[in-house]
Amino acid sequence: MEGKETVFVVSDSVGETADLVVKAVATQFNGGFVEVKRNAFVADFADIDDVLVMAKDVPSIIAYTIVIPSLKEYLDKRAEEEGLATVDLLNPLMTAFSKTFNKNPKNQPKLMRQLDDSYFRKIEAIEFAVKYDDGRDPRGLLRADIVLIGVSRTSKTPLSMYLAHKGFKVANVPLVPEVAPPEELYQIPRSRCVGLIISPDKLNSIRKERLKNLGLTSEANYASFERILEELEYAEKIMKRIGCPVINVSNKAIEETADSILKILKR
């Protein structure tokens, strides 16, 4: 058997796990001497046979992460018949999981990839929510899964972040009588826009507390009933013009409001 020492990484998924483990081990042996060949998304016996043919031609090890029982059994059997060395990188730990935690594995490939995809979607959504918070860049409205609109202190930002952690790209726009809403707000489907309203009393209480925390007098125009009523009336006109669904957040926790928003989206 001639040729460069080779480790064939075989997986019924992407093969990243096995690839990393093999390279980590190889570094303990001055890793540059070994060639790593990844064979991903192995789906049937023919795919395994192809690897075995290549492995017979060089000094080799087959390191695999295969969770489909029939493929694993076939690889073990055929490799033994051909006198090839194999290492199952998952089964010892899966067996320990089963025995210790008394649970059965799903034996489904690509589950790790699904977790990774979910994680990166969440990170992307969080970055989106930060970038397009408080109407900073109207162009984000056209790319958002959800657009929240409402007067100041209707929990737009906390809701945006909460929904972002669930993987939704959320932008929000404050409605202020002196500032016309961006034109993009009228270009998005109304089903993707949600208006947030609140009772004047509740908003007055929240804004007074906000001013107190900032060290300002509670008599400021920001917390006056006259100003609050003006803002709420203006916001209601905008929401009616758009024709979007509206949620009263007066006595709702963030989680409750988010749940209502997601139900609206499903409809």
In a shared domain, residues 58 and 189? no
135 is in an annotated binding site: no
Give me the average pLDDT of each 10-residue run along the chain (267 residues): 84 86 88 86 92 94 92 94 94 88 79 66 91 93 97 96 94 96 95 96 92 80 93 97 96 94 89
**Per-residue model confidence (pLDDT) at position 120:** 78
**Per-residue model confidence (pLDDT) at position 118:** 74
d(CA 19, CA 41): 13
d(CA 36, CA 47): 17
d(CA 229, CA 224): 9
**Per-residue model confidence (pLDDT) at position 31:** 66
In a shared domain, residues 127 and 100? no
In a shared domain, residues 99 and 124? no
In a shared domain, residues 104 and 125? no
169 is in an annotated binding site: no
> What is the extent of the structural domain holding 238?
120-266
In a shared domain, residues 259 and 158? yes
217 is in an annotated binding site: no
d(CA 125, CA 106): 29
Written as one letter, the residue type at 246 is V
In a shared domain, residues 131 and 235? yes
179 is in an annotated binding site: no
152 is in an annotated binding site: yes
CATH number of the domain that residue 78 is part of = 3.40.50
**Per-residue model confidence (pLDDT) at position 111:** 66
CA distances from 231 to 16, 109, 179, 238 (A): 54, 54, 11, 11
Using DSSP, state whether 52 is helix, strand or coil. Answer: helix
243 is in an annotated binding site: no
In a shared domain, residues 192 and 227? yes
In-domain check, residue 115: no
In-domain check, residue 1: no
In-domain check, residue 23: yes
156 is in an annotated binding site: yes
In degrees, rounded to 5, the angle at the alpha carbon of residue 129 between the alpha carbons of residues 128 and 131 is 65
70 is in an annotated binding site: no
In degrees, rounded to 5, the angle at the alpha carbon of residue 220 between the alpha carbons of residues 217 and 225 is 125
pTM of the full predicted structure? 0.61
Contact 161, 126 (CB under 8 A): yes
In a shared domain, residues 200 and 102? no
In-domain check, residue 105: yes
In a shared domain, residues 154 and 203? yes
Q: Which token pair is 70? A: 């029939």
In a shared domain, residues 165 and 186? yes
**Per-residue model confidence (pLDDT) at position 203:** 94
In the chain, how many domains are there?
2
In a shared domain, residues 126 and 237? yes
